[in-house]
Amino acid sequence: MIYKDRKDAGIQLVSRLTEYKDREDVLVLALPRGGVVIGYEVAKALNCPLDIIIIRKIGFPGQPELAIGAVSETGAVVLNEDIISAYKVSKDYIEEEILRQKKEISRRITLYRSGKGIPPLDGKIIILVDDGVATGATIKAAISTLKKEKIVRLVAALPVSSEDAEEGIKQMVDEWVCTETPFGFMAIGNYYQDFSQVSDEEVVELLKQKTKD
């Protein structure tokens, strides 16, 4: 399946999540920036709040889109030790990247949430959304962060995923919902007609709009 854009992907994902509609204990958490467009459509259809969890990818040296790990806004770090070991990625590089991404996380917390942290999660069913996963490093960092909270249920909901990422993530969550897990997975953007970058301004506007709904 090829989605028209992230809005279309979010709308199609909702059909797999209808059991969570109109429940007061449900919260959609999106991974900025692309995941927020998906999350907005899901939260709107389910009639539940939308917020974000800020995770930053640690990219492979010279190939920033290839994740070798990720950092959460709570400080949790997830590393892909297989890639790091196989390609002998230096400890110094990883530490420098962690510090750099923590600075970007601070900037985004200020911009997206006016400096506030993650909202209270106790007793919540969390639907964690993104626009897709390839290696899964970013969403795994989000899951590791959320599992330290007193949530009732954790649902990972995605429009598209690689089979490798699906296998790893399924074991970490209570429920896995994914519309497409194509054989021979390529880059996430290959499954969208329009996969243009989402701006900070769009993220802020969508979060503001959902608060008004």
Written as tens digits, the pLDDT of the chain (213 aa) is 899 999 999 999 999 999 999 999 999 999 999 999 999 999 999 999 999 999 998 999 999 878 898 899 988 888 989 999 999 999 999 999 999 999 999 999 999 999 998 888 999 999 999 999 998 888 998 998 899 889 999 999 999 999 999 999 999 999 999 999 999 999 999 999 999 999 999 999 999 998 767
Say how far apart CA 152 and CA 26 lie, in whole Å.
Answer: 10
Contact (Cβ atoms closer than 8 angstroms) between residue 121 and residue 149:
yes
- Do 47 and 63 lie in a common domain? no
Q: Decide if 1 is inside a domain.
A: no
Domain with 80, as residue range(s), is: 57-112
pLDDT of residue 122: 94
- Do 135 and 43 lie in a common domain? yes
Per DSSP, helices labelled H in 47-90 are: 81-86
Q: Is 203 exposed, middle or buried (0-12, 13-18, 19+ CB in 10 A)?
A: buried
Q: Is 177 exposed, middle or buried (0-12, 13-18, 19+ CB in 10 A)?
A: middle
- Do 82 and 185 lie in a common domain? no
Instruction: State how many domains the chain has.
Output: 2
Say how far apart CA 14 and CA 39 lie, in whole Å.
Answer: 10
Q: Which of 56, 4, 3, 47 is nearest to 24 (CA)?
A: 47
- Do 26 and 74 lie in a common domain? no
pLDDT of residue 119: 86
Strand partners, 51: 29
pLDDT of residue 44: 97
pLDDT of residue 52: 96
Of 93, 112, 131, the residue at which a domain comes to its end is 112
Q: Supply the CATH number for residue 189's domain.
A: 3.40.50.2020
Q: Which amino acid is at 178?
A: C
- Do 76 and 173 lie in a common domain? no
> pTM score, two decimals?
0.89
- Do 63 and 89 lie in a common domain? yes
pLDDT of residue 151: 96
The 3-state secondary structure of 124-156 reads CEEEEECCCECCCHHHHHHHHHHCCCCCCEEEE
Sign of CA dihedral 127, 130, 134, 139: negative
Q: Supply the CATH number for residue 99's domain.
A: 3.30.1310.20
Strand partners, 97: none
DSSP code at position 195: -
The total number of residues written for the chain in this structure: 213
Of 68, 85, 112, the residue at which a domain comes to its end is 112
Two structure tokens written together for 100: 């750099």
Q: Calculate the CA dihedral of residues 195, 201, 207, 211 and round it to 10 degrees.
A: -140
Q: Which of 94, 98, 52 is nearest to 71 (CA)?
A: 98
pLDDT of residue 179: 96
